[in-house]
Amino acid sequence: MPIYCYRDPDGQLVELKMSYAEMLRRQTDGKIEHEGTTLTRDIVAEHQHTVPGCAGWPIWSDAAAVHPSDVPNTDAQLKSRGVNVSFDRHGRPKFENAAHRRSYLRAMKLHDRNGYD
């Protein structure tokens, strides 16, 4: 169920968990009555939430991993293509940022169908 963010008259953030249909039924012009107080929706605050457990970069990729025994060979190939990446003991590459990830995927001839590249 989605969480919608609102601000009370004092500017304090109030998070309400309700269905989309309920939000449409209760909200008028971005305002909602809750426990006798008129709250104003804060869409920016709603989009600042992150996925639980996802701290951002760097990330260790399971999908782009290689077999641990192939790490030395893969590392040499990547270095010859100008890509420096660290692997953990499971063969997962560590991506420092989106550009680093993109260069690794291109060098390995991998394609992310859900990506933006």
Q: pLDDT per residue over 79-100, tens digit each? A: 999 999 999 999 999 999 888 9
pLDDT band at 55 (very low <50, low <70, confident <90, very high): low
Is the pTM above the cut of 0.85? no
Residue 32's pLDDT band, with cuts at 50, 70 and 90, is very high
Return the SS3 of 45: helix
Regarding predicted confidence, which is higher, 47 or 39?
39
Average pLDDT, the chain: 89
Q: Report CA-CA distances (Å) from 109 to 73, 78, 106.
A: 16, 11, 5
Q: Where are the chain's structural domains?
A: 3-46, 59-107
In 58-105, where do the E strands start and end?
59-60, 86-87, 93-95
